[in-house]
Amino acid sequence: MARYGMALDYKNCINCKACETACKEENGILMGADKHRIWVGTGEIEGQYPLLDLTSNVFHPSQCQHCDNAPCEEVCPTQATYTDENGVVRVNIDQCILCSYCMNACPYDARYVDDRTMTVDKCNFCAETRLARGETTTACQNTCPTKVRIFGDLDDPNSEISEVLRTREHYSLKAHLGTKPKLFYLT
Amino acid sequence: MALRELVNKIVPIKEDFSIKSLLGFKKTPLNVLVFFMIMGLLLLLVWGLAQFLMHGHHAYNVTREHPWGLLISGYIFFVGTSTGLCIIASLGHVFGIKEFNHIGKRTTLLAIITLLPGFIIILTEIGHPVTMMIYNILTPGITSAIWWMGTLYGLVLTFIILEFGFALRGNHKWAVRLGIGGLIADVAAFTTLGSVFAYLVARPIANGPFIPLYFLLTAVVSGAFFMFMIYGFKHKLNFPEEVKITLVKLAKILGLLLAVTMFFEWWRIITAIYGDMPERADTMMRIIASTSFQLEVLFAMVIPFVIILVSKGTALKALFFSSIAALISIFLMRNDMVHHAQMMPMQMLKKTEYQLAPTWIEYSPSPVEWAIAVGALGVCFLLYYVAEKAFDLDEDDHH
């Protein structure tokens, strides 16, 4: 029993997209621009030379926030979306009816339709692959060359993520919606 | 004929009802036109259903960013009209407005035959309808508005079919009891459908109490327009005195509801724009600038309201034609509502995503979506025609 979360030292991101590739490879995600569990948002450089706004050129890796109060789980009519014993928000594809309510309810655009099963898919912190094999890292974290991602048990005070969240300032996305995300952006 | 006797034991059907009587309509140009229109709509539906069975959701133009499309709108249009008709049917039997007694049976039937096409549409919108039936029972998501909506509509259909059956048998006591049950379940079901959108905290334009209330209001408006259309066709615009009295009364109720609807819309727009709140004000500005919204306001609200206001509800012929335009506009209105809830992209740090900067989400239904949503109207008309031939829909002397 754990309560998994992820901290993102996003200012270290170099937009190499290795995480997106590793996620697709590890979890067998279909090719195609709208078939992705994780992504890197890119801010273009704003302004005109020589007055360029370098702070606008940032990379924001993101994905499902694994909310403690997940709107997608709340709206699911068949309980296909559920939070597992490790606090990971997952989809039971046998129960998913593809009503798409979760896709509309998710404030983070973290869900998409897997064309093979015609059910809704999302990041599950590699629960069916790496975690199931007993590993303790996710594919995106493992492959990141600048170590942007820190994955671990939020309930374990000695875990790296707990340590980082204690010592560094951080924020969550759309926290005002009360979703209680378990993804933290380190500032 | 054993089957006929068996059916007759349950609900009385007309003596002369047969396949021959169904095909033996007078071949006037209007009748032939309606015949081909119904056949055309049914062919469209069959083609759409075949495409759905072969390709599933791949036949639709819904996307990751816009997962709900025309089929959701079509469903809302039909079940909303049904709810409106159910409320109008109850005006006589449940609320005791005697001018509405004689339309009770027919209006209840209309509520049934508008609900069924809605169900056909939603079954094609849900990706796995059989799984839905199994897991709605095995693992019910009771915090889900969709679960409640589906369950309540199951109740509604049961209530109004039984109500109609008892009314046909002349058992008014049970018809009224079931009518009350149907009314309560129907109001609950359609407002719950509104709450499917209203609960979306992620969508500021939809979130809040407006949509369930707006759904209830526009359901009756939609049902009233449907009544004018059906009664206009039935009497070929030469309304008997008794029908005229009822329709004028209905027109006055409709006028009041249209005024309230416009009032609702006005305050929805103003409160959304005021303060320039991101994701709400900009979305609303885009809504009011869209042609479909302007058409919806003009044809479903302003024009019929002006006709009723100027004629004091007596211009029934004008209302008939205006009702057809209004129903098309209400279809647009439902489509607009579904689209408006989704058109603001969930930016979520995707400043550029795969080289594409997020913009307003566009959606255009695929031919298959159009075929199913519009073709379902053929089922509605066909069932009405069959029911008209099979049952005595005019009230007996009981009242």
User: A residues 80-139 near B, CB within 8 Å?
Assistant: 80, 94-101, 103-109, 111-113, 115, 118-119
Number of neighbouring beta carbons within 10 Å of residue B321:
16
Residue B397 has pLDDT above 50, yes or no: no
Q: What pLDDT is attached to residue B395?
A: 66
Phi, psi of B201 (to 5 degrees): -65, -25
Over residues B318-341, the pLDDT tens digits come to 999 999 999 999 999 999 999 999
Q: What pLDDT is attached to residue B399?
A: 45
Mean pLDDT, range A144-172, rounded to an integer: 95
pLDDT band at A149; cut points 50, 70, 90: very high
DSSP calls for A75-107: H-TTS-EEE-TTS-EEE-TTT-----HHHHH-T
Q: What is the DSSP code (8-state) at residue B57?
A: G
Question: What is the spatial distance between Cα B253 and Cα B194, in angstroms, rounded to a whole number?
Answer: 22
User: What's the topology of domain B68-343?
Assistant: Formate dehydrogenase/DMSO reductase fold (1.20.1630)
Question: Chain A contacts of B145, Cβ < 8 Å?
Answer: 75
Q: What pLDDT is attached to residue B348?
A: 60
pLDDT band at B228; cut points 50, 70, 90: very high
Task: Report the mean per-residue pLDDT for chain B.
Answer: 91
Q: What pLDDT is attached to residue B1?
A: 58
Q: What is the CATH number of the domain that holds A143?
A: 3.30.70.20
Which of B65, B131, B201 lies at the smallest CB-CB distance from A107? B201
Mean pLDDT, range B88-99, rounded to an integer: 90
Question: What is the spatial distance between Cα B147 and Cα B196, in angstroms, rounded to a whole number?
Answer: 10
Residue A87 has pLDDT above 80, yes or no: yes
Here the tokens at position A40 are 């890197």
- Give the domain range for residue A106: 4-186
Would the CB atoms of B128 and A104 count as touching at under 8 Å?
A: no
Least confident of A12-21, A27-36, B371-380, B388-397: B388-397
Over residues A109-121, the pLDDT tens digits come to 999 999 999 999 9
Say what the ipTM of the complex is: 0.91
Contacts of B368 (CB under 8 A, 6+ apart): B48, B51, B52, B55, B59, B60
Least confident of A31-35, A66-70, A144-148, B264-268: A31-35
Residue B353 has pLDDT above 70, yes or no: no
Among positive and negative, which fits the CA dihedral B120, B230, B305, B302?
Answer: positive
Q: Where are the domains of chain B?
A: 37-64, 68-343
Mutate to test the interface with B, among A75, A123, A180 (most CBs of B within 10 A): A75
Rounded to the nearest angstrom, the minimum Cα separation between B305 and chain A is 35
The total domain count for chain A is 1
Residue A44 has pLDDT above 50, yes or no: yes
Mean pLDDT, range B16-25, rounded to an integer: 82
Type of residue at A28: G
Over residues B263-288, the pLDDT tens digits come to 999 999 999 999 998 888 999 999 99
Mean pLDDT, range B169-187, rounded to an integer: 93
Least confident of B27-41, B142-156, B211-225, B336-350: B336-350
Contacts of A28 (CB under 8 A, 6+ apart): none
Question: Chain A contacts of B342, Cβ < 8 Å?
Answer: 104
